[in-house]
Amino acid sequence: MSRRQFQVPRRIGDGSPDDTGCTVLHVDMDAFYASASLRTRPELVGTPVIIGGGGRSVVLSATYEARAFGVTSAMPMTRARRLCPQATVIPPDHALYAEISRAVMRVFEGVTPLVEPLSLDEAFLDVGGAVRLMGSPAVIAQMIRDQVVREQGITCSVGVSSTKFVAKIASGLAKPDGMLVVPADEVVAFVQQLPVAALWGVGEKTEEALARLGLRTVADIARTPRATLTQSLGVATGTHLHDLAWGRDPRGVDPVRREKSVGHERTFGADVGDPVVIRQVLLDLSEKVGARLRAQRLVGRTVSIKVRFADFSTVTRSRSLRDATDVSRDIYAAARELYEALGMQRARIRLVGVRVEGLTGSDSTPVQVTLDEPEHGWRDADRAVDRAASRFGAGSVRPASLLTKGGGRATEEDRGDLD
């Protein structure tokens, strides 16, 4: 659903909603990164908090108290600080987020094997097979909400309906810390009261194209002949939007969905031209990517880098490894080779990123051991570092080249993501 905000009634009918046949749930953590970070800073609960860094980085998340001042995710930190100068800024802790995400997903899997994660903090569930043992879909949704807050100390919102599309809209309207049931016989009326921006696949350009046709609500799309839509928007988009306008979404919950890639990027506070610093950053980012792969029990075959220069021109390069890996040293070796192959080591750089793609589960991928690898090699060393980080905090064990003389970080702001 579009991040653009809109207000619609939460229900069409009156009284308690009928959840018969509403076996699709969309569960979404509320301000996940901010809520997770506050577990270690309980004194900040109820105050404006922004998760991010300084310089030219962007907001990863913000509490609802900060959002009231206009702070949103992906907003430049400089603007967020201007909008809410009283906010406390906390740097992101991706290891903590991955740990909580795994625990939340285990809660979902305790209800149904049909869980489709969309990211660390949201997933679709098909609870059709659980209703006989656990109660109605709404009862199951409330059980999940209670268990998440009890075990993890964070809240989630749940949309309950007969299709994925409507369940996702419902969870957004239920935020924060709520649940919304859209009965199967009210789906069409519910959907058609929405603005066109609520439909999956409607970005700013598509919204502008629909506005040129005079279509501003989903009801407008529903009343428009399919042929008109396909002629103006293309067959795929026109058909897709017409189906959604009538509440049709045949997609089931896909429990085998995996992230396509894991990556980290860093934006410098000032443009950097020193190749030694760039290599340090590549190493640091590779360490973070490797740690998150291992936390998610994933390995990948393709390593890519992104370099954005001072003039905002951006290049990406990638190479495939012989064997899939989650070893930080292997990721860094490939990333460094890609950077040096650019032949622009003295160019001024604004941003650099490392990403691993072509992911598969590490449990099902055999590990290839080279003849010159010691009995306890780099993979074991990485996992020892992971254990130390879990016990003593991220960054407790780091390569010596990433430490400045004062023991601090050699470089500046970073951002991680999973696609």
CATH number at residue 386: 3.30.1490.100
In-domain check, residue 28 = no
**Is the separation of the CB atoms in 266 and 285 below 8 Å?**
yes
DSSP assignment of 280-321 equals HHHHHHHHHHHHHHHHTTEEEEEEEEEEEETTS-EEEEEEEE
- 219 and 304 both lie in a single domain: no
Q: What pLDDT is recorded for position 337?
A: 95
Please check whether residues 272 and 241 belong to one and the same domain.
no
Residue 299 within a domain:
yes
What's the CA gap between 316 and 353, in Å, rounded? 9
Q: Is residue 350 located within the same domain as residue 213?
A: no
Nearest C-alpha neighbor of 268 from the set 52, 56, 92, 53 = 56
Active centre residues (catalytic): 122
- 90, 97 Cβ separation under 8 angstroms: no
* Residues 342, 303 share a domain: yes
Nearest CA to 119 out of 177, 73, 179, 174 is that of: 73
Inside any domain, residue 72: yes
Cα 409 from Cα 388, distance rounded (Å) = 18
User: What pLDDT shows up at residue 364?
Assistant: 47
Same domain, 279 and 410: yes
For residue 10 the two structure tokens come to: 């939460």
Q: Which residue is it, tokens 């042929």? A: 227
Are 281 and 314 in a shared domain? yes
pLDDT of residue 8: 46
Our count of domains for the chain comes to 3
The answer to whether residues 324 and 412 belong to one domain is yes
Is residue 379 situated within a structural domain? yes
What local confidence, expressed as pLDDT, does residue 268 receive?
Answer: 87
Are 193 and 10 in contact by the 8 Å Cβ rule? The answer is: no
In a domain? residue 77: yes
296 and 351 co-located in one domain: yes
Within a domain: residue 22? no
Q: For residue 245, what are the contacts with CB-CB under 8 A and spacing of at least 6?
A: 191, 192, 199, 218, 219, 221, 222
Is 339 contained in some domain? yes
Residues 296 and 238 grouped into a single domain: no
Same domain flag for 205 and 336: no
Residue 15 domain-assigned?
Answer: no
pLDDT tens for the chain, 419 residues: list them.
333 444 444 444 445 678 999 999 999 999 999 999 999 899 999 999 999 977 677 898 999 999 999 999 888 899 999 999 999 999 998 889 989 999 999 999 999 999 999 888 999 999 999 999 999 999 999 999 999 999 999 999 999 999 999 999 999 999 999 999 999 999 999 999 999 998 887 888 889 999 999 999 999 999 999 999 999 888 988 999 999 999 998 889 988 666 678 999 998 888 999 999 999 999 999 999 999 888 888 889 899 999 999 888 889 999 988 888 999 999 999 999 999 999 877 789 999 999 999 888 765 444 444 444 444 455 565 656 655 555 545 554 555 555 543 333 333 445 555 55
Domain boundary among 61, 94, 127: 94
Note down the domain range covering 89: 33-94
**Residue ranges of the binding site:** 28, 121
| CA pair distance 213, 221, nearest whole angstrom | 10
Number of H helices, E strands in the chain: 15, 13
71 neighbors 83 (Cβ within 8 angstroms) = yes
Say yes or no: 318 and 225 in one domain: no
Last-in-domain residue among 204, 220, 245: 245
Residues 396 and 365 in one domain: yes
Nearest Cα to 273, choosing from 343, 350, 348, 341? 348
Write the CATH number for 56.
3.40.1170.60
Boundary of a domain, candidates 74, 94, 114:
94
Neighbours of 46 (CB within 10 A): 11
Look at residue 378 in the predicted model and tell me its pLDDT: 55
- Binding residues for Mg(2+), by number, are 28, 121
